Amino acid sequence: MRIALIGYGNMGKEIAALAGEQGIEIAAIIDAEAAGATGREISKEALANADVCIEFSNPGSAVENIKGMAALHKNIVVGTTGWYSKLDEVKKAVEREGIGLVYASNFSLGVNAFFRIVERAAEVMDKLPEYDVSGLEIHHKGKKDSPSGTARAIEKILLERIARKKRAVEGKLDRKIEGDELHFASLRTGNVPGTHSVLFDSIADSIELTHTARNRQGFALGALQAAKWVKGKKGFYSIDDMMKELFE
6 pairs with which residues across the strands? 30, 55
Residue of 44, 73, 74, 143 marked catalytic: 143
Ligand-binding annotation for 104, yes or no, is yes
Tell the burial category of 108 from Cβ atoms under 10 Å away from its Cβ (0-12, 13-18, 19+): buried
- For residues 130 and 203, is the Cβ–Cβ distance under 8 A? yes
Q: State the DSSP H helix or E strand holding residue 208, giving kind and residue range, or none if neither.
A: strand 206-212
Cα–Cα nearest to 222, from 117, 110, 147, 140: 110
Residue of 13, 139, 196, 211 marked catalytic: 139
Ligand-binding annotation for 106, yes or no, is yes
DSSP assignment, residue 34?
Answer: -
- For residues 233 and 75, is the Cβ–Cβ distance under 8 A? yes
Helices assigned H by DSSP within the chain:
10-19, 59-71, 87-97, 109-125, 149-161, 217-230, 239-247
Determine whether 143 is an active site residue: yes
* Edge-first strand listing for the sheet containing 195-201: 167-170, 181-188, 132-139, 195-201, 206-212
Ligand-binding annotation for 189, yes or no, is no
Ligand-binding annotation for 150, yes or no, is yes
Q: Which residues are annotated as a binding site?
A: 31, 79-81, 104-107, 140, 149-150
Catalytic residue IDs: 139, 143
> What residues form the annotated binding site for NAD(+)?
31, 79-81, 104-107
Which residues sit in the known binding site for (S)-2,3,4,5-tetrahydrodipicolinate? 140, 149-150
